[in-house]
Amino acid sequence: MTILSKDWRYIVVPAGTGSTLSSQGSVSVVEYPTGEYVGGALPVIQTYPTESTTTLAIDIRVATASEVAFLKEALFGWAEEPMKTTLFTQKLYQDWGKPLYVWPGDNYVASWYGVSGIGFYVFVGYDSTNYPTQEVLI
């Protein structure tokens, strides 16, 4: 089961579903096709896109590969490999929706469970001090 919270509202999403990309500030739900999960595991984004196609003023989109690389260095540039990758991977499963890095203009990146799976998503047009959160109960 997934629980989404925003502005003191809770939306309960049955197991096997996840939040979709948001447009115009609303969060909707989509059901994954059968067989999407291997051994009951949640899907994790393996490859991030090279560029963003977002044109909406309010959106939750998958981070680009360069944004993910920047985030990894910003958070754990002090660590040596393989510790850097280990610490960074753990961020995928902590505090979903909490801003990990805020860019000028208040857009920020956070871990999120969206239609592409668990990964890093960029929140465009959202307030980084009153952000949407997720709690995924596995």
Read off the tokens for 106: 């208040």
Number of helices (H) and strands (E) in the chain: give both, helices first.
2, 9
Strand partners, 80: none
Instruction: Indicate the pLDDT class of residue 64, thresholds 50, 70 and 90.
Output: very high
d(CA 104, CA 82): 30
pLDDT-derived band at 65, boundaries 50, 70, 90 = very high
Q: In this predicted structure, what is the pLDDT of residue 100?
A: 96
Sign of CA pseudo-dihedral 89, 91, 96, 97 = negative
The mean predicted confidence, pLDDT, of the chain is: 74
pLDDT of residue 114: 85
